[in-house]
Chain A
Amino acid sequence: MKSAVIVFPGSNCDRDMAVALEKITGQKPIMVWHQEYDFPEVDFIALPGGFSYGDYLRCGAMSARSHVMKEVVKRAEAGVPTFGVCNGFQILTETGLLPGALMRNANLHFVCRDVEMTVENTDSMFTSGYKGMDSITIPVAHHDGNYFADTETLDRLEGEGQVAFKYKSDINGAQRRIAGIMNAKGNVLGMMPHPERMIEPALGGSDGRILFESVINSLG
């Protein structure tokens, strides 16, 4: 699987994402600096975590308006699997590829810990490997992960199977404890927890690995 990791000024989980992708796919991803809009064709685009542009203005707002994101949006709309973690999720909502917004955590504190989640839809290209698992554990590390959307959108997301993950207990005040959502087509996933940090027992578990393996399987 050929993948690309998009790097913005202030991204800081780009290396973690690259390490995970290389370990799991066996192939080094292309690191795409935000000014290089014209990057080669890939099977998978990852938007890593971090504090792109310092989270100034609003998390993900400036990155969403960068040239490289115009290209990412075009490819995502054409069907390329696109995956945003943490700041990457914030960027995806800011571009409009995913609905809703990520607000400051309800208790106003940054939170870094392992969280238990349920996989709400195990039929997607990102989550098929989680079939039969009642609960998975993946860490979060964010200040702005409080997912918000209007009731109608939330109902639609739940009704159409677009909610990928839910926290088992309240972590950040997110509506309906939503941790990750997909677009209607199912080729764009944004999530606050960091699967790239849970890919081997030495790091505390391997539940994150399954997500990447699911994508590989879906691509055949």
Chain B
Amino acid sequence: MTDVKITPELVKEHGLTAEEYDRILAALGREPSITELGIYSVMWSEHCSYKSSRIHLKKLPTKADWVIQGPGENAGVIDIGDGQAAIFKMESHNHPSYIEPYQGAATGVGGILRDVFTMGARPVANMNALRFGEPDHPKTRHLVAGVVEGIGGYGNCVGVPTVGGETNFDPSYNGNILVNAMTVGLADTDKIFYSAAAGVGNPVVYVGSKTGRDGIHGATMASAEFTEDSEEKRPTVQVGDPFTEKLLIEACLELMATDAIVAIQDMGAAGLTSSSVEMASKGGVGFELILDNVPQREENMTPYEMCLSESQERMLMVLKPGREDMAKAIFEKWELDFAVIGTITTTGKLTLKFKGETVGDMPIDSLVDDAPMYDRPWVPTPKRKAVTVPAPADLGKAVMDMIGGPHLSSRRWIWEQYDHMVMGDTIQRPGGDAAVVRVHGTMKGLAISTDVSPRYCYADPVEGGKQAVAETWRNITAVGAKPLAITNCLNFGNPERPEIMGQFVGCLDGMGEACRALDYPIVSGNVSLYNETNGTGILPTPAIGGVGVMADIDCMATVAFEKAGETILLIGETRDELGASLYQKQILGEDDGLPPLVDLGVERRNGDFVRAMIENGQVTTCHDLSDGGLIAALADMAIGGNMGAEITLGETLPLHVQLFSETQARYLVAAEADVAETIRQEAKDAGIPVTVLGKTGGDRLSVNGDALSLALADVRAAHEGWLPNYMAAAE
């Protein structure tokens, strides 16, 4: 093997502890080669091995009758009826996006697309969940501009619509932005491809781009905290080529239409290494790879570099014997590399050959099953006390500041840079509660939403975890779809700190509880830890991506008011819940008290009621209540429909509480007076709190006469203006 001497310093540079290195010695019965050391270091990194999180992830509910494939594959698969499946996953690309925002975000999109089309799906929608530092931080504009351009640059070129997402600003992300990208694809249920390798002697085939020296040790970078010199890590960021990805999608789908593929896996984090190890491990076989055959972009690449490169747009496949020529012809048509680089063996080992020598020979089990698993110490987040949150000095100003501020303002500046209509099936565009994409050639729709409220997760991880799941469920419900399953991106700080681990455990408990109560299992996901800079962690951010289905896209609701004179109804009860609210944080500059309670039974009851109204055609205008409360939702509906509203609120609670409270499980709907009366009666009969608030119409937003009266034109200007004005100030 190679001559490099393995020193304790070298071991440490690879992010391995002394104990972990001892495990490697025990697994091999000898000292590793440098290539082997590199492979163990990525396979056992937090990013690939989930060593801090695995023990807790096991507790999440992952099953339902409609779940075809839960966590553990490239993406989750659910049955959407009529012989079709939705395949989806969300993944983080946080660390690279902070260092090089354009390429970091772009390759995040590329990676998640590959996870989905690897399984045989044509990607039909991209979503994202983005978190940046405070607007006044000197790096924020640059990062927003780069990330948005990177997501657009990749998704637009590949030709998959980016149909929505969410964007937040908070100082806790100043040194660690979050870029979570989600892809949803469609496949026939009998044409789904998995990664378990099989068939001793079958060829192992490499397709796609050539391997270069980019991204070496990306997975290790993603498993460490940032320090001041993190920008020196720029060479570990990969460079994306969406044009090649587009060709790769078409070539793979063309080959998948034949019966040549036994197993397939994209080369993501840790590239060739993790894809071959995962395929071999799942299939219980060994792999022998001839590294000389790996298509290379640069000269004199070493086995170490080839095994650890994270060059993009590459896939690994196991083919049935004798299908190589047919498969090769397809990839040549698409002008992509195709190389047989190995065979399946019975050894149970990953054997690497280069220039006639064996440069690596590791038991597959030791790379996967022997990876360290830690039950890290954790402490529960202390319970906060309830607080009374006072009224603002100037109600009108508070409302305008919120609607026209960094948190609630329109994200149009972002989503207009994404092609959100390509593929011709975008039925509900960005800006609503959930995006709706028609299932091509049918009347069915997929509804997709990404959500989490990190404020709540920080205040009370359990309630926050519940709320994140419930909010995607509510958003999907609000457009009229039935929520079916979720994916997630669990973004947290350093798990070696017990209070961070406590946030993680708490959020997962809450998520699990919500998933069970709502019949809304988790089918895929990703964990991103060590989102810390110089010892300060981000707000706990378990981003949830939910997917639902509607039977008929003609029975769909949007947030926009449609007609003057319609009755506005509030479904659900409003309580005094201003703790950890946006109002408290933005207007009063405080973050205290209890976040809103998530009563999952009420959530489900209210949501099922609202969905039924949309499905039976009673309602086509609906909006869920979330950040900013009732007034924020009302403003969205008025702006969307370019139509004012006049409402009256009672005196059971102070006016500011009724306007800004973030009580869960609430919806605003608008309908013709007689329909509204029927709905009111039906809600009453079902025991669901319902309140007639007022009427649509006019060019003002008025609450209780003059108590709050705003010209819609001003509200719109503030809402639409904040983000473009903020970004223009940079140029």
Which residues of A are interface residues toward B (Cβ below 8 A)?
9-10, 12-13, 15-16, 19-20, 49-51, 53-56, 109-113, 139, 141, 143, 194, 196-197, 202-204
Offer 11 A-B interface pairs, CB within 8 angstroms, sorted by A: A9-B247, A9-B335, A10-B157, A12-B159, A13-B422, A54-B243, A110-B419, A111-B416, A139-B421, A141-B156, A143-B156
Please tell me if B418 contacts chain A, counting CB pairs below 8 Å.
yes
Q: Chain B residues near A112 (CB, 8 Å)?
A: 156, 415-421
Are A15 and B417 in touch, CB under 8 angstroms? Answer: no
Given known A110-B152, A111-B417, A112-B417, contact A10–B422 (CB-CB < 8 A): no
Q: Chain A residues near B422 (CB, 8 Å)?
A: 12-13, 16, 49, 141, 197
Please tell me if B695 contacts chain A, counting CB pairs below 8 Å.
no
Besides A9-B247, A12-B158, A51-B159, 10 other CB < 8 A contacts? A9-B335, A12-B159, A13-B159, A13-B422, A49-B422, A53-B243, A55-B243, A113-B416, A196-B424, A203-B424
Q: Chain B residues near A19 (CB, 8 Å)?
A: 424
Q: With the chains together, A143 CA to B553 CA distance in Å?
A: 31
Are A10 and B152 in touch, CB under 8 angstroms? Answer: no
Q: How far is the CB of B522 from chain A (nearest CB, A)?
A: 31
Q: Chain A residues near B553 (CB, 8 Å)?
A: 202
Q: Chain B residues near A49 (CB, 8 Å)?
A: 422
* Smallest Cβ-Cβ distance to A112: which chain B residue: B419
Q: Chain B residues near A143 (CB, 8 Å)?
A: 156
Q: Chain A residues near B247 (CB, 8 Å)?
A: 9-10
Q: Chain B residues near A196 (CB, 8 Å)?
A: 424
Q: Chain B residues near A204 (CB, 8 Å)?
A: 429
Q: Chain A residues near B700 (CB, 8 Å)?
A: none
Instruction: Identify which of B246, B418, B554 contacts A10 (C-beta below 8 A).
Output: B246
Q: Chain B residues near A55 (CB, 8 Å)?
A: 157, 243
Are A194 and B421 in touch, CB under 8 angstroms? Answer: yes
Given known A12-B159, A13-B159, contact A51–B417 (CB-CB < 8 A): no
Q: Which of B408-447 contact A (CB under 8 A)?
A: 415-424, 426-427, 429, 438
Q: Chain B residues near A139 (CB, 8 Å)?
A: 421
Given known A12-B422, A20-B424, A202-B438, contact A50–B159 (CB-CB < 8 A): yes
* Smallest Cβ-Cβ distance to A54: which chain B residue: B243
* Smallest Cβ-Cβ distance to B157: which chain A residue: A51
Please tell me if B615 contacts chain A, counting CB pairs below 8 Å.
no
Q: How far is the CB of B106 from chain A (nearest CB, A)?
A: 13
* Smallest Cβ-Cβ distance to A33: which chain B residue: B333
Q: Chain B residues near A16 (CB, 8 Å)?
A: 422-424
Please tell me if B720 contacts chain A, counting CB pairs below 8 Å.
no
Please tell me if B241 contacts chain A, counting CB pairs below 8 Å.
yes
Q: Chain B residues near A15 (CB, 8 Å)?
A: 423-424
Q: Chain A residues near B554 (CB, 8 Å)?
A: 202
Q: How far is the CB of A150 from chain B (nearest CB, A)?
A: 29
* Smallest Cβ-Cβ distance to A11: which chain B residue: B159
Are A51 and B242 in touch, CB under 8 angstroms? Answer: yes
Q: With the chains together, A10 CA to B418 CA distance in Å?
A: 17
Q: How far is the CB of A149 from chain B (nearest CB, A)?
A: 26
Q: With the chains together, A56 CA to B242 CA distance in Å?
A: 11
Are A141 and B243 in touch, CB under 8 angstroms? Answer: no
Q: Chain B residues near A20 (CB, 8 Å)?
A: 424
* Smallest Cβ-Cβ distance to B247: which chain A residue: A9
Q: With the chains together, A54 CA to B153 CA distance in Å?
A: 11
Are B417 and A141 in touch, CB under 8 angstroms? Answer: no
Q: Which of B373-417 contact A (CB under 8 A)?
A: 415-417
Interface centre among B415, B424, B426, B429 (most CB of A within 10 A): B424
Are A197 and B246 in touch, CB under 8 angstroms? Answer: no
Are B421 and A54 in touch, CB under 8 angstroms? Answer: no
Interface bits B35-57 vs A (CB < 8 Å: 1, else 0):
00000000000000000000000
Q: Chain A residues near B421 (CB, 8 Å)?
A: 112, 139, 141, 194, 197, 203
Given known A13-B422, A16-B422, A51-B246, contact A109–B417 (CB-CB < 8 A): yes
Q: With the chains together, A56 CA to B424 CA distance in Å?
A: 25
* Smallest Cβ-Cβ distance to A200: which chain B residue: B424
Top 8 A-B residue pairs of the complex, sorted by shortest distance between their CB atoms: A12-B159, A54-B243, A16-B424, A51-B157, A141-B419, A110-B417, A112-B419, A110-B152
Q: How far is the CB of A67 from chain B (nearest CB, A)?
A: 15
Please tell me if B169 contacts chain A, counting CB pairs below 8 Å.
no
Are A51 and B419 in touch, CB under 8 angstroms? Answer: no
Are A54 and B241 in touch, CB under 8 angstroms? Answer: yes
Interface centre among B156, B415, B422 (most CB of A within 10 A): B422
Please tell me if B354 contacts chain A, counting CB pairs below 8 Å.
no
Are A54 and B334 in touch, CB under 8 angstroms? Answer: no
Q: With the chains together, A112 CA to B417 CA distance in Å?
A: 6
* Smallest Cβ-Cβ distance to A204: which chain B residue: B429
Q: With the chains together, A112 CA to B164 CA distance in Å?
A: 13
Q: Chain B residues near A141 (CB, 8 Å)?
A: 156, 419, 421-422
Q: With the chains together, A202 CA to B552 CA distance in Å?
A: 11
Are B426 and A203 in touch, CB under 8 angstroms? Answer: yes
* Smallest Cβ-Cβ distance to A53: which chain B residue: B243
Q: With the chains together, A12 CA to B334 CA distance in Å?
A: 14
Q: With the chains together, A204 CA to B553 CA distance in Å?
A: 13
Q: Chain B residues near A9 (CB, 8 Å)?
A: 243, 246-247, 334-335
Q: Chain B residues near A10 (CB, 8 Å)?
A: 157, 243, 246-247
Q: How far is the CB of B731 from chain A (nearest CB, A)?
A: 9
Q: Chain B residues near A54 (CB, 8 Å)?
A: 157, 241-244
Q: With the chains together, A196 CA to B423 CA distance in Å?
A: 10
Q: How far is the CB of B498 from chain A (nearest CB, A)?
A: 45
Q: Chain A residues near B242 (CB, 8 Å)?
A: 51, 54
Q: Chain A residues near B335 (CB, 8 Å)?
A: 9
* Smallest Cβ-Cβ distance to B413: which chain A residue: A109
Q: With the chains together, A202 CA to B420 CA distance in Å?
A: 15
Interface bits B144-162 vs A (CB < 8 Å: 1, else 0):
0000010011001111000
Q: Chain A residues near B246 (CB, 8 Å)?
A: 9-10, 12, 51
Q: Chain A residues near B243 (CB, 8 Å)?
A: 9-10, 51, 53-56
* Smallest Cβ-Cβ distance to A16: which chain B residue: B424
Q: How far is the CB of B514 from chain A (nearest CB, A)?
A: 32
Q: How far is the CB of A82 from chain B (nearest CB, A)?
A: 22
Q: How far is the CB of A105 from chain B (nearest CB, A)?
A: 10
* Smallest Cβ-Cβ distance to A203: which chain B residue: B424
Q: With the chains together, A19 CA to B441 CA distance in Å?
A: 9
Q: Chain B residues near A203 (CB, 8 Å)?
A: 421, 424, 426-427
Interface bits B549-578 vs A (CB < 8 Å: 1, else 0):
000011000000000000000000000000
Q: With the chains together, A204 CA to B438 CA distance in Å?
A: 13
Q: With the chains together, A54 CA to B106 CA distance in Å?
A: 14
* Smallest Cβ-Cβ distance to A198: which chain B residue: B421
* Smallest Cβ-Cβ distance to B424: which chain A residue: A16
Q: How far is the CB of A66 from chain B (nearest CB, A)?
A: 13
* Smallest Cβ-Cβ distance to A18: which chain B residue: B424
Q: With the chains together, A15 CA to B420 CA distance in Å?
A: 16
Q: Chain A residues near B429 (CB, 8 Å)?
A: 204
Q: Chain A residues near B157 (CB, 8 Å)?
A: 10, 12, 51, 54-55
Q: How far is the CB of B726 from chain A (nearest CB, A)?
A: 15
Given known A10-B247, A111-B416, A113-B416, contact A51–B423 (CB-CB < 8 A): no
Q: How far is the CB of B222 from chain A (nearest CB, A)?
A: 27
Q: With the chains together, A137 CA to B421 CA distance in Å?
A: 14
Q: Chain B residues near A13 (CB, 8 Å)?
A: 159, 422
